[in-house]
Structure 1
Amino acid sequence: MGAGKRSLTTVTMALACAAAIMAAPGVAYADPTPSPAPRSPSSTPASTKDLEAIRKKLDKLYHDAAVATDAYNAAEEKADKQSAQIVELARAIVQGQAKLDKLKDRAGAAARAQYRSGGLPPEAELMLSDNPQQYLDGAGRVRQGERATKSLLAELARTQKDLKQYAKDASAQWQKLEGNRKAKAEAKKKVKKQIAAAEKLESELEEDEKERLAELEREAAAKAQTAWLDSGVLDDVKGEATASGKKAVEYATEQLGKQYEWGAEGPKTFDCSGLTLQAWAAAGQAIPRTSQEQWKQLDRVDIKDMRPGDLIIYNSDASHVAMYIGDGAMIHAPRPGRTVTVAGAGSMPILGVVRPAA
């Protein structure tokens, strides 16, 4: 991180910088806790109150990074789909052009044949014919040929219309793809900005202050988990994992200790929704890429009906997701600088529970 450790004077300056970043365009959140007052370089180490303010500030920064990560993942997923659609449209255009060329050749041949057979009016040909019946049979074939030619021309027109539509659709997809590339780049910039601000803030702390900060984080999580359990929310939770749920939990458990990396979905690193995505993929179930889309698209269940393998969505904006593994615990990829770990399911604000399994 930083080249040298400084006192909390620098820390509070970093807090001010972080506050400015929080006010930047994008998702904004109110900060109920004021930054600690500046202290002189000769002051004693940070107080618990100061560190608590830092902890809350870090939570905000990493939360915003999670929101931006979801935006990045969503843009990436859309760009991938649009790229695939463009490839399909290009293939359809190539096939349609080949079909159009063949139809034009057939239409040209029909036109030339009709030209060669032109001449006397049909009544005169019938009067002069040595074999009127043969002429009439031929005339029937001519009418059939005319109908076939008419059908050929109609198919030619349809193919031309299809080609124009394919080209129009491809152009629209290219525009959407370009828009999502820009959205992806902007989200990437926001993620890096928030994480850099958080890392800078942490780098200004002395080692003992980092240890005390980590302890405050554990205490806050334990307090939230205890309050959640004491509410009796799990008293009626008796659901057992399905076969697919067990496979998903098994996969998630095998990833314990792997580093968090925003935008990653394995196999070496994960972000929160990348972990749940791959866990359920291992169980044979495809689910949306982001925590927000998982919340929107998957079936919602009451906490009392929760069972291992279900996904717990956190925060009012659905910016985090974890997998419930039973006994009030969950597995998740927390944030940058952390690893995939087991934690209390109630250690963060729960928005709701969703179930990937049919």
Structure 2
Amino acid sequence: MAAGKRSLIAAAVTVVCAVIVLAAPGTAFAAPSPTPTPSASPAVPASKDLEAVRQRLEKLYHDAAVATDAYNAAEEKSQQQSAQIVELTKKIAQGQQRLDQLKDRAGAAARAQYRTGGLPPEAQLVLSDDPQQFLDGTRRLMQGQRATKGMLAEMARTQEDLKQYAADAAERWRQLEANRKAKEAAKQRITQQVSQAEKLESQLEAKEKARLAELERQAAAKAQTAWLDTGILKDVKTGASERGRQAVAFATAQIGKPYEWGAEGPRTFDCSGLTSQAWAHAGQPIPRTSQEQWAQLKHVDIKDMRPGDLIIYFGDASHVGMYVGDGTVVHAPRPGRTVTLTGAGTMPILGVVRPDM
């Protein structure tokens, strides 16, 4: 047999054996790895895989929003406590100044008594031979006794006030330190959640990101349509108040500015930073965080809401947007996004609050 013919037969046997092995039931095998080429693109994950990514990102950014609210609350409390400490410091300085004045007066009285030979006023009065001087001295003595008694009482009150101011200041410093630690812990949680989300997004290719964005749009549209289909807005006809119009005008003027956690403008905002600044611009200060906005502001029914009202989202009140009419809110969504308009029903609604009741 020629060498060429033997080679052909060997090759044929090899192919047949391979087919038999691959066709055998239950046989496991490893697929050969294709040789990569510069132009080859990674396979795009199935839609269900990207849906899992979308849900994971949604949770990470929600957790970051919760931590952001905690950070903002701690920051607001720290500012209040710092202002209280400044006021207490002023009171302590004023109290100490008053106490020093009272001590000077007491010292002056003691020096006057020394100059009169150390005799108390009562003894000097008894020794007086002049009746008129005696009467005048009696009046002065009674006035002096009342003044001395009042001075001593004021000194005691001032000393007590100083002790209380010092105790209050110490407590404010303790609270300030606790809030500093709370802020730092919240900051770490925010950084961790956002970092994980950004890492997850960075692993996606351009096609995957485009498909993920489409999934997000579809989910938002589905939620908004379901919300509108309930007929929930059919009775909403209330117009905005004057301050409400001013708040809406401010908030919508920020559209396109980046989200940044803990930010209150003017270049970047987080969700409650946008709403609180909008109402401050309208002349109506409101709480800084979405949770405190929900806790402290007047609740209204959705059918009674009007432009400028705040819609609070999620069961933990971790997000807020401002209603601008026609089923739409303006809000600062999350890191990596900008202030934008969206359907009011695209997120789970907790309730509606009104700042200008």
CA shift, 1:44, in A, is 3.7
Conserved? CA contact 2:259–2:270, under 8 Å: yes
Conserved? CA contact 2:220–2:347, under 8 Å: yes
- The answer for the alignment partner of 1:135 in structure 2 is 134
CA RMSD, aligned part only? 1.8
The letter for the 1-side match of 2:57 is: L
- The answer for the alignment partner of 1:261 in structure 2 is 260
Instruction: Report the CA distance shift for 1:140/1:348 in structure 2 as closer, same or farther (over 3 A).
Output: same
Distance 2:125 2:230 in 1: 101
Distance 1:133 1:243 in 2: 76
Unmatched 5+ residue regions in structure 1? 1-39
CA shift, 1:41, in A, is 8.9
- The answer for the alignment partner of 1:4 in structure 2 is none
CA shift, 1:61, in A, is 0.2
CA deviations over 1:243-277 (Å, ceiling 9, x no partner): 10000000011000000000001000000000001
Unmatched 5+ residue regions in structure 2? 1-31, 35-41
- The answer for the alignment partner of 1:9 in structure 2 is none
Instruction: Report the CA distance shift for 1:181/1:125 in structure 2 as closer, same or farther (over 3 A).
Output: closer
Tell me the SS of whatever aligns to 1:280: helix
Distance 2:123 2:99 in 1: 37
Following TM superposition, the consecutive aligned residue runs of length 4 or more in structure 1 with deviations greater than 4 angstroms are: 40-43, 115-118, 120-126
- Normalising by structure 1, we get a TM-score of 0.86
CA shift, 1:354, in A, is 0.2
* Structure 2 residue 251 is the aligned partner of structure 1 residue 249: no
CA shift, 1:133, in A, is 2.7
CA deviations over 1:2-44 (Å, ceiling 9, x no partner): xxxxxxxxxxxxxxxxxxxxxxxxxxxxxxxxxxxxxx99884
- The answer for the alignment partner of 1:54 in structure 2 is 53
- Normalising by structure 2, we get a TM-score of 0.86
Instruction: Report the CA distance shift for 1:132/1:73 in structure 2 as closer, same or farther (over 3 A).
Output: same
- The answer for the alignment partner of 2:102 in structure 1 is 103
Between Structure 1 and Structure 2, whose CA radius of gyration is higher? 2
Tell me the SS of whatever aligns to 2:231: coil
- The answer for the alignment partner of 1:309 in structure 2 is 308
The letter for the 1-side match of 2:103 is: K
Conserved? CA contact 1:271–1:335, under 8 Å: yes
Distance 1:341 1:160 in 2: 57
Conserved? CA contact 1:280–1:287, under 8 Å: yes
Matches within 5 A, 1:46-195: 46-117=45-116, 118-119=118-119, 126=126, 129-195=128-194
Distance 2:92 2:218 in 1: 61
* Structure 2 residue 282 is the aligned partner of structure 1 residue 277: no
Matches within 5 A, 1:186-335: 186-335=185-334
Structure 1 range deviating more: 164-173 or 295-304: 164-173
Conserved? CA contact 1:103–1:152, under 8 Å: yes
CA shift, 1:139, in A, is 1.6
CA shift, 1:91, in A, is 1.1
Instruction: Report the CA distance shift for 1:345/1:120 in structure 2 as closer, same or farther (over 3 A).
Output: closer
Instruction: Report the CA distance shift for 1:66/1:53 in structure 2 as closer, same or farther (over 3 A).
Output: same
CA shift, 1:124, in A, is 8.8
Give identity over the alignment, percent: 69
Conserved? CA contact 1:315–1:350, under 8 Å: yes
Report how many aligned residue pairs link the two structures.
Answer: 318
